[in-house]
Amino acid sequence: MDTPDRREASISRRNLLRDSSFAAISAAAFASAGCSSFPTTECGPRGSAVVKGRIKQSVVGWCFADQFKTIDKTCQVARDLGCVSVELAPPSDWATLKKYGLVCAIAPNGMPGAPFIKGFNNPKYHDQVIASTKKVIDACADAGFGRVIAFTGYKYNDAEDPKSGEISLEQGAKNCVEGFKKIVGYAEEKKVMICLEHLNTRDDSDPMKGHPGYQGDDVDYCVDIIKAVGSPNLKLLFDIYHVQIMNGDLVRRIHQHKDYIGHIHTAGNPGRNELHGETQEINYPAVMRALLDINYQGYVGQEFIPVNKAEDSLRTAVEMCDV
């Protein structure tokens, strides 16, 4: 059967063959110049941060936009580090991704503004969310990409107004199930996976570090919704940073929910910054090994907000996750 992973793997294999040939030619050139492999000196570039390649890594473009400035720069850095994807890029950027031999591991849902506010937990937004998601599913199917992101939405009757009253957890879950059932058959037909993201509500320091009011802030709650829909084309976006804040017990939860994980995001905690450093509490190599233990075949998107030089921080993160 032609699955999202198989179609994207085909693209990746072609890229690997091309890049391997390039690497062999480049290595010979460096050797003839008296340099060893890919040094960090003036002899040549630093080379790929990916050595083992058992984890397919992706760069989440929005996190690095302030420093990289353009989609071309983001793609260049991703490719040079050995990543195979730049994700959450809009379809208008996909031609650029393909120019650099990259895929879009997971696509945005097409909702304007902050896309996680209006979601499937509120029937008043179902028509809008389903229409925008279908449009991106079509674009993914045409491009050969396999995933689109989705959200429960905020818990308020008027998603952007906390004073409008709250949707109960039970009703929110029921609404999500009903909403996803309206679109998941279409996703199955197009061979595209919808990934429901769990977000944290504890961090109120920055609108991109935490999302007070988001209904799907319990990873088990999100998994229960996915189970109730009962489709292989609806899975969980397991964001390591958000799960650590809200639930913790990362390695055991990865094993517990192995059948429902469709995509992975990273970030350091606390702070949603670099993965490394003395203040950081997540052991990323151990978490990556847990993904290998469950035979995870999806992508790991680097979604941290760099405090330091983005390219150096991203290189370190990719190296840490290359287990």
Lowest mean pLDDT across 20-24, 188-192, 242-246, 249-253: 20-24
Q: Is the pLDDT of residue 225 over 80?
A: yes
Inform me whether the pLDDT recorded for 15 exceeds 80: no
pLDDT above 80: residue 132:
yes
pLDDT-derived band at 7, boundaries 50, 70, 90: low
**Band of residue 124 on the pLDDT scale cut at 50, 70, 90:** very high
Give residue 68's identity as a one-letter amino acid code: F
Phi, psi for residue 239 in degrees, rounded to 5: -90, 110
Encode pLDDT of 272-292 as tens digits. 999 999 999 999 999 999 999
Least-confidence region, from 31-40, 167-176, 231-240: 31-40
Peptide bond before residue 270 is cis, with ω within 30 degrees of 0 = yes
Burial track 117-135 (b if 16+ CB lie within 10 A, e otherwise): bbbbbbeebbeebbebbbe
Residue 3: pLDDT band with limits 50, 70, 90: low
For the stretch 141-168, pLDDT in tens is 999 999 999 999 999 999 999 999 999 9
pLDDT of residue 35: 32
